[in-house]
Amino acid sequence: MTKGLKLTDILVTIVIAIAFGIVYILWGSVYYALKPIGLHADQFMYGMWFIAANVAFFIIRKPGVALLAEIAAASGEFLLGSPWGLTVLLYGVVQGLFAELVFMAFKYKRFHISVAILSAIAACLGSVLMDFAYGEIGDLVAWNLTLFMIARFLGSILFAGVCAYYLVKVLEATGVTNLVRPASSKDYAELDQK
């Protein structure tokens, strides 16, 4: 699937991802700062950890980018010595895969905000599945678990969906996205002027 990625695409994706990897580590402290509030207020912040996949995909718009981005961000976090250590690596793969599946479902041709939100939800779903396997959140009592889910999904939609989408919009204004996206056929047509 990633056969089609050129060196430029890969390098740009990984650089974006590692930049977010740094953000992820810093985000960890925000997350823990909210932990003592209890009642899963921290879960609302969780969505930030899915943002790399969406940002990278919406910039480069190619198959495989979302998965690669989430793995790279996690590896970056891992290599920089995040206290979550190897956990993030495992989570990264699953979250990236889930986000990727959404883009694939749209044949990598839709770049609407709704797609961003859907993929954020998918990545969140991936993380919840991992939590069941690893953190045994299934043992939480029902009302607590519900609260947990609502907080996490809402946060994902906000951070990984909406924020990522608008971040890319702002980046487009700086013209940087033209570097990695193919030139339009209009530009090619204009070569034949006069």
Partner 1 sequence: MQLDFSSKETWLHRINPSLKLFVLIMLCIIVLLVHNLLFMMNFTVIVLILFLCFTGQPTKRILLLFIPFFVVFLSTSSSLIFFGQGNTTWFKWGLIHITEESFFRGLLVGFRALLFAILGLTFALTTRPVYLFYSLMQQVKLNPKYAYSFMAALRLIPIMLEEFQTIQNAMRVRGVVRQTGIRSVFLKMKAYSIPMLSGSIRRAHRIAVAMEAKRFSDTRNRTYYYEIGFSKYDIVFILYFVTLLLAGYYGAIKGV
Partner 2 sequence: MERIAHVEKLRLKFPGDTSLLFKDLSSTFYKGEKVLLLGPSGCGKSTLLQVLSGLIPHSIEVPMKAEELVSPTSWGYVFQDPDSQFCMPFVDEEIAFVLENINVPKQQMIDRIHHHLQQVGLHLPDIHTSIQTLSGGMKQRLAIASILALKPDVLFLDEPTAMLDPKGTKEIWNVLKEVGQEKTVIIVEHKIDHVLEFIERIILFNEAGQIIADGPKEKILSTYKNEMREQGIWFPGVWEEYLDTTPLLRSRKPFEKKEKVLEVQNFKGFRQKEEKILVDDLQAYSGEWIVIKGENGAGKSTLLHAFMQFIKTTGHCELVGIAIKKVKKQTDFMTFVFQNPEFQFVANSVYEEIAYSLKVDKVDSREIEIKVEELLEWFQLVDHWDKHPYQLSMGQKRRLSVAASIVKEQKLILLDEPTFGQDSKNTFALLEWIEELRLKGTTIIMITHDEQIINNFATRIWTIEAGKVISDEIQSMNMKTELVSV
Return the closest-CA partner of residue 82 out of 126, 7, 24. Answer: 24
**Stretch touching partner 1 by CB under 8 A, among 18-26, 97-105, 116-124, 186-194:** 18-26
CB of 165 to partner 1, least distance (A): 14
Task: Report residue 61: phi and psi, to 5°.
Answer: 60, 40
Binding positions for partner 1, 136-155, rule CB under 8 A = 136-137, 139-141, 144
Binding positions for partner 1, 46-105, rule CB under 8 A = 59, 72, 75-76, 78-87, 90
Binding positions for partner 2, 121-180, rule CB under 8 A = 173-176, 178
Q: Which residues are CB-contacts of 161 (< 8 A; sequence separation ≥ 6)?
A: 47, 54, 113, 116, 117, 118, 119, 120, 121
Token output for 102: 């959404």
Q: Does residue number 182 form part of the binding site for partner 2 (CB under 8 A)?
A: yes
Token output for 119: 């993929």
| DSSP code of residue 48 | G
Binding site for partner 1 (CB under 8 A): 6-8, 10-12, 14-19, 22, 32, 35, 38-40, 59, 72, 75-76, 78-87, 90, 133-137, 139-141, 144, 167, 170-171, 174, 176, 179-180
